[in-house]
Amino acid sequence: MPQHYFEELDYLPAEEVLAWGIRTFSDSFGISTSFQKSGMVILDMAFRLSPNVRVFTLDTGRLPEETHAMIDMVRARYGAKVEVVTPDPREVEAMVRQHGSNLFYTDPSLRLLCCHVRKVKPLERKLAEFRAYAVGLRRLTSNTRNEIRKVEVVKGAIKLAPIADWTRQEIDGYIQRHGVPTHPLYARGYTSIGCAPCTRATAEDEDERAGRWWWEQDARKECGIHFTANGTVGRQLDVLIQGVSPAPGARAH
């Protein structure tokens, strides 16, 4: 479907956008979440519309224990069969062997390589099962996200961001009204939560995503799922990816 087909949906309330996705795509529709506040709002909203919505999440192998606890909580609270997606162990092994376990602290291209192996490629493989999926992205969380549409076509799949125009206060208000469970790390000062080594708490005067990859002072704070590297870093990343990609036909052991 061409992008202009979805233009009217960008003006609809979040619930209506999500209801359209569930109604239109049925079992080929899913919720992609890392169980942060925005993702939990989407998940809660979806299960109020349908008890059979598919939910999937990425387990990078470096998640904090609190995120694993959220997976268990969501399964118990909503009856969701959370589909856990993991990276290719061959690629992880090759990456760690060549660059070390904590390669992400060394250089932006190596950090993006780690994200590519642990997040981007597993997500791409999972999305092959869906015609459409919803995420909790918002325009106001980062200057790299201020052009997010509520519905857009990304690499052949239809990506919904129903709360793209919500503020932080609207997110918190929904959570309070509906008693939505929140990730335990928020109580410890976190405002954006990812892998354990790459996330820290933030100060009151910092941007919401300041705690992600905080050592990269001049880099764009994205993992590659919502941002494609270009320029020198992009070229370096392309070379690094080739170095950890398994040969065609190779099997995982």
| Strand 151-154 with 157-160, pairing | antiparallel
Is pLDDT above 80 for 128? yes
What radius of gyration, in Å, describes the C-alpha atoms of the chain?
18
Q: Once rounded to an integer, what is the mean pLDDT over residues 229-247? A: 60
Q: Give the model's pLDDT for residue 253.
A: 46
- Give the active site residues: 223
CB atoms within 10 A of CB 247: 6
pTM confidence score? 0.86
The first and second tokens of residue 194, run together, are: 């990812």
CATH class of 3-244: alpha beta
**pLDDT tens digit string along 79-106?**
999 999 999 999 999 999 999 999 999 9
